[in-house]
Amino acid sequence: MLLKVFKNTVLFSIIISISLVTFSCGQRTEQARKNVLKDTLALNDAPSTNRTLLSENKNLNVGANKTQDYLPLLQGKRVGIVANQTSVIFKTKRSKASFLNYTHLVDSLIAMNVDVKKVFAPEHGFRGVADAGEVVKDGLDTKTGLPIISLYGKNKKPTAEQLKGLDLIIFDIQDVGARFYTYISSLHYVMEACAEQNIPVLVLDRPNPNGHYIDGPILEKAHKSFVGMHPIPVVHGMTIGEYAQMINGEHWLTNGIQCQLTVITVDHYNHQLPYKLPINPSPNLPNAKAINLYPSLCFFEGTPISVGRGTNKQFQVIGSPKFKNEGFPFQFTPTTNAGAKYPKHDGEICYGYDLSEYKTLDGLNLEWLIDFYNKSQTLNSETPFFTDFFTLLAGTQSLEKQIVAGWSEKEIRASWEAGLTAYSKTRAQYLLYP
């Protein structure tokens, strides 16, 4: 009967009638159940801060929403979930304006009697409030009573003990399509750990807001790190479900092992479809413009240049206090805020560019990087422009060497062509969408 209901409605009509459902999730308390219901109703009535008009991408149906496809896979299973604040199931609500409403996947599945045992949290944490690079600690989710296991810091890969007693892992996190965005590194380690313990992985797919192009140098094995684990370009042009298939198919897990993988796809999605994220994927990607600029501006994280952390235009402004007399048209002052506890150049006036009104990018922009490097060389500064972290972000030493040698953006791009051509052929094998 339950599956029949899901074929005709989304999960939430059941959640609103939760008082009719028997709640029996192991040791979870009645108070935890009430917390889930309270938060579900609160989200439905909350202000529209994190909602987007249904007129945008109204036909898309993300993997998490297709409960009829994956609830049968969860029956009788002890489930672990890799999730953050983007792991939600959407519902529509008609009013004077049509908005997207949602409840968290974890809360929703608990309400539907799925035996959720624990949550695994990536960078920025389960509820998505931790700063970039900040250690995410283990703990308990106050809303559900579930144990939370951090997958950021020293423990990036789930241990056998942490997976003990689980029959299946759900991975549901919104990605933004850049190699150095660490959620795909977490995906790798989850798949690897589950393959070693013979635990199936279920990926609930979501669109890639930067899925309309591929670009950048291919990562070299010598520069593998958590901000780049695989031989792919900076912008990989895949959804997280497609990327999971590539990890498996290319035998990138240790010793070439493969995990038992199921992907619940997105309905009506294609790679050229613009997609505005209804929920910020991390604290310093607050809007569509920041997400579009992120692959180009993240290179500056390996330089003395601020990308606007500590302002209200994160990844939309770039600058440095050193450029006061360099004729830049814009200035900003980073200060400590909720998404940046220790922003670069905290309290100092930075001079540079405001890119918040810049055109939508269909490829990496290197002009800003080259421009700032060249201007930095005219200053008497003991601070090197490129750090070791820049090489990890680029995935190669070549980009730094090319900029230092005075190569133009066109010349640098030409050096990427062979790698991108080969990658395109590999990528085509794993695409789930046109």
Residues 384 and 237 placed together within one structural domain of the fold = no
Residues 47 and 188 placed together within one structural domain of the fold = yes
Residue 282 counted as domain residue = no
Note the helical H segments in 142-238: 160-163, 183-196
> Given a cut of 80, is residue 18 above it in pLDDT?
no
Residues 6+ apart with CB under 8 A from 403: 366, 369, 370, 373, 386, 412
Residues 379 and 335 placed together within one structural domain of the fold = yes
Instruction: Tell me what pLDDT residue 141 has.
Output: 85
- Greater pLDDT, 349 or 41: 349
Residue 206 counted as domain residue = yes
- Greater pLDDT, 231 or 12: 231
> Given a cut of 60, is residue 15 above it in pLDDT?
no
Residue 63 counted as domain residue = yes
Residues 341 and 250 placed together within one structural domain of the fold = no
Q: How far apart are the first and last CA of the chain?
A: 35
Which amino acid type is present at position 313? K
Instruction: Tell me what pLDDT residue 132 has.
Output: 46
> Given a cut of 80, is residue 367 above it in pLDDT?
yes
Instruction: Tell me what pLDDT residue 359 has.
Output: 96
How many domains is the chain partitioned into structurally?
2
Residue 58 counted as domain residue = yes
Strand ranges across the sheet with 317-320: 317-320, 350-354, 330-332
What does the block give as tokens for 274? 């613009």
Residue 127 — very low, low, confident or very high, per pLDDT cuts 50/70/90? low
CA distance 249 to 18: 41
CA distance 334 to 332: 7
- Greater pLDDT, 231 or 36: 231
Instruction: Tell me what pLDDT residue 380 has.
Output: 73
> Given a cut of 50, is residue 41 above it in pLDDT?
no
Instruction: Tell me what pLDDT residue 100 has.
Output: 61
- Greater pLDDT, 283 or 13: 283
> Given a cut of 50, is residue 53 above it in pLDDT?
no
CATH number at residue 38: 3.40.50.12170
> Given a cut of 70, is residue 344 above it in pLDDT?
yes
Neighbours of 28 (CB within 10 A): 18
Residue 306 counted as domain residue = yes
Residue 8 — very low, low, confident or very high, per pLDDT cuts 50/70/90? very low
Neighbours of 58 (CB within 10 A): 12
333-361 average pLDDT score: 95
Residues 250 and 312 placed together within one structural domain of the fold = no
Residues 178 and 83 placed together within one structural domain of the fold = yes
CA distance 214 to 424: 8
CA distance 127 to 80: 16
- DSSP letters for 296-353: HHGGGGGSS-B-STTSSSTTTEEEEGGGTTTT-SEEE----BTTBSS-TTTTS-EEEE
**Quick one: which H or E segment has residue 74?**
helix 67-74
- Greater pLDDT, 106 or 5: 106
Best-predicted range by mean pLDDT among 49-58, 127-136, 317-326?
Answer: 317-326
Residues 230 and 303 placed together within one structural domain of the fold = no
- Greater pLDDT, 315 or 53: 315
Instruction: Tell me what pLDDT residue 93 has.
Output: 52
> Is 328 in contact with 319 (CB distance < 8 Å)?
yes
What does the block give as tokens for 202? 């279920």
pTM score of the predicted model: 0.85
Pairing of the two strands 78-83 and 168-172: parallel
The single-letter DSSP state of residue 362 is S
Instruction: Average the pLDDT over each of 25-29, 87-91, 320-324, 343-347 and give the range with the smallest value.
Output: 25-29
Query: pLDDT tens for residues 152-210?
Result: 888 999 999 999 999 999 999 999 999 999 999 999 999 999 999 999 999 999 999 99
123-143 average pLDDT score: 62
Residues 6+ apart with CB under 8 A from 290: 284, 313, 314, 315, 316
Residues 157 and 190 placed together within one structural domain of the fold = yes
What does the block give as tokens for 383? 């601070």
What does the block give as tokens for 180? 């150095």
> Given a cut of 80, is residue 38 above it in pLDDT?
no
244-250 average pLDDT score: 98
Let me know the angle formed at the C-alpha of 265 by 214 and 263, rounded to the nearest 5 degrees. 95
> Given a cut of 90, is residue 280 above it in pLDDT?
yes
> Is 92 in contact with 98 (CB distance < 8 Å)?
yes
Residue 137 — very low, low, confident or very high, per pLDDT cuts 50/70/90? low
SS (H, E, C) 381-418: CCCCCCCHHHHHHHCCCHHHHHHHCCCCHHHHHHHHHH
Instruction: Tell me what pLDDT residue 97 has.
Output: 44
- In the chain, what percentage of residues exceed pLDDT 90? 75
Instruction: Tell me what pLDDT residue 213 has.
Output: 98
Instruction: Tell me what pLDDT residue 30 has.
Output: 47
> Given a cut of 90, is residue 11 above it in pLDDT?
no
> Given a cut of 60, is residue 295 above it in pLDDT?
yes
Residues 64 and 200 placed together within one structural domain of the fold = yes
Residue 78 counted as domain residue = yes
Dihedral sign (CA 266, 56, 215, 226): negative
Residue 408 counted as domain residue = no
76-81 average pLDDT score: 98
Residue 414 counted as domain residue = no
Domain membership of residue 258 as a residue range: 2-264
Smallest Cα–Cα separation from 105: which of 123, 120, 95?
Answer: 120
Which amino acid type is present at position 159? T
> Given a cut of 60, is residue 55 above it in pLDDT?
no
Dihedral sign (CA 240, 246, 252, 258): positive
Let me know the angle formed at the C-alpha of 105 by 131 and 73, rounded to the nearest 5 degrees. 130
